[in-house]
Amino acid sequence: MEQRMRNARTTAPFDLSIDSLTYDGRGVGRHKGRVVFVSNALPGDTVTVNVVKHKTSLWEAEIDRIIAPSPQRKRPKCPKYGQCGGCSLQHMNHSGRLAVYTDLILRSLKRFAAVEPESVMTPLQSPSWGYRHRARLSVRWLNRKLLLGFRAAGSHAIIPISACSVLAPELEALLPGLAATLQTMSDPRAISHIELAAGDHCRGILLRTMKSLSEQDQDRWRLLAQGDAAHLWFEPSEPDQRVCAYSPDEYESLTYQLPEFDVKLAFLPIDFIQINPYINRQMVSQSVEWLDITATDTVLDLFCGLGNFTLPLATRAQQVVGVEGLVSLVEKGRENARINGLNNATFMRADLSQEIMLQTWSQKSYDACLLNPPRTGARDVLEVLADRLPDRLLYISCNPATLARDAGILKQVGYRLTRLSVMDMFPQTVHVETMALFLRN
């Protein structure tokens, strides 16, 4: 055994053809019957690799040289690519990325749930650059040098940035002013993170502080916000003490619109929203269309957040019940319903991982259900309510593995997967969003 391990650890470089991609963006090939994962390799590449980690069932490797590049390979645009952890597939072209996304989902569903969609629909597409309307910047000081940027790939180190092409242009334009203001502060280490967000006609800066800012430092940030016509918040370690320090208009929230439904939603930079508004508008419209909502329908929206799906559904249905675990989002959903005059949208707070059957909303009957769970999926709620859920169920997923697992649960209680669509929510990255329509006869 020890001899075999020593031989494995001194494996000589070898050539490898890459056949597919893993969930985390590594290329997959086979060498003498063994699976090899290769960082930064793409399907269609022929590469020489060096093994860096040996495991019983697979090897992990890095590219030594590219013998023949994949047709999908392109030159990364960002000079920080490979250092910053924000993007991991800039070396792959757009059409290739969408094809890989779809293949990943289909393989996962078939392998782990024995489920195949009856129809695979055209992917929802987004601009490849300038799409990100929300971001968190880390602030660190190293030997009196400012580090303002994103975390490095696979590390807690900070990669400083002065520009970022995936950020919405109106947020990217804030970066120089943020860095300059940090440099002038009397106590710059008081700030740990900066949250940026852009609405349709507004943008916001939220400073996460580890201690109170001096009046002089607060004035510096207000001056920056005024010059950039941006909302400004100070948030100490206790969120309930958040302060709106400056607002360019009478509102103390950012807003975005869903024009097809004549709905406007208010949010803060720390609230969960879909970071890609181009995909979000398409996604909401397609969700309502696929669920075939009518004026007599009662709809259940689980993991509803601040109402991104709830309120558009309420413009078409008789009644919509949104259920969310975070109190702050439930309150924001109720406020958004009030702003839009939608009295048929009800928001309720519930932990969807426990005591589901004790909740009043779970005792009612519905005509359709939408689920938009976190990466951990919706297993808890499905295992409890699967037999009680309506025959029309739409699942929005951000994790192929938990989607496959939950599709298996739904299959066991009589659902079939009728439509599936990949959504290009996060261009340049390995993250994939999926819409899946399940029907039960």
List residues with catalytic annotation: 398
* Distance between CA atoms of residues 390 and 315, nearest Å: 20
Instruction: Tell me which long-range contacts 175-182 makes (C-beta under 8 A, separation of at least 24).
Output: 175/148, 177/224, 177/227, 177/228, 178/137, 178/148, 178/205, 178/224, 179/146, 179/148, 181/220, 181/221, 181/224, 182/139, 182/146, 182/148
Please provide the distance, in angstroms rounded to a whole number, between the alpha carbons at the two ends of the chain.
55
Write out the two tokens for 8: 């494995």
* Distance between CA atoms of residues 427 and 131, nearest Å: 8
Amino acid at 48: T
Instruction: For tokens 């109720």, name the residue.
Output: 334
Instruction: For tokens 């302060």, name the residue.
Output: 243
* Distance between CA atoms of residues 203 and 251, nearest Å: 12
User: Of 142, 161, 141, 143, nearest to 151 (Cα)?
Assistant: 161
* DSSP code at position 131: -
User: Of 30, 2, 25, nearest to 14 (Cα)?
Assistant: 30
Instruction: For tokens 């993991």, name the residue.
Output: 303
* Distance between CA atoms of residues 99 and 94, nearest Å: 9
Burial of 12 (0-12, 13-18, 19+ CB in 10 A): exposed
**Cβ atoms of residues 37 and 68 within 8 Å:** no
Give the CA radius of gyration of the chain. Answer: 24
Write out the two tokens for 439: 């029907």
Instruction: For tokens 């993007």, name the residue.
Output: 87
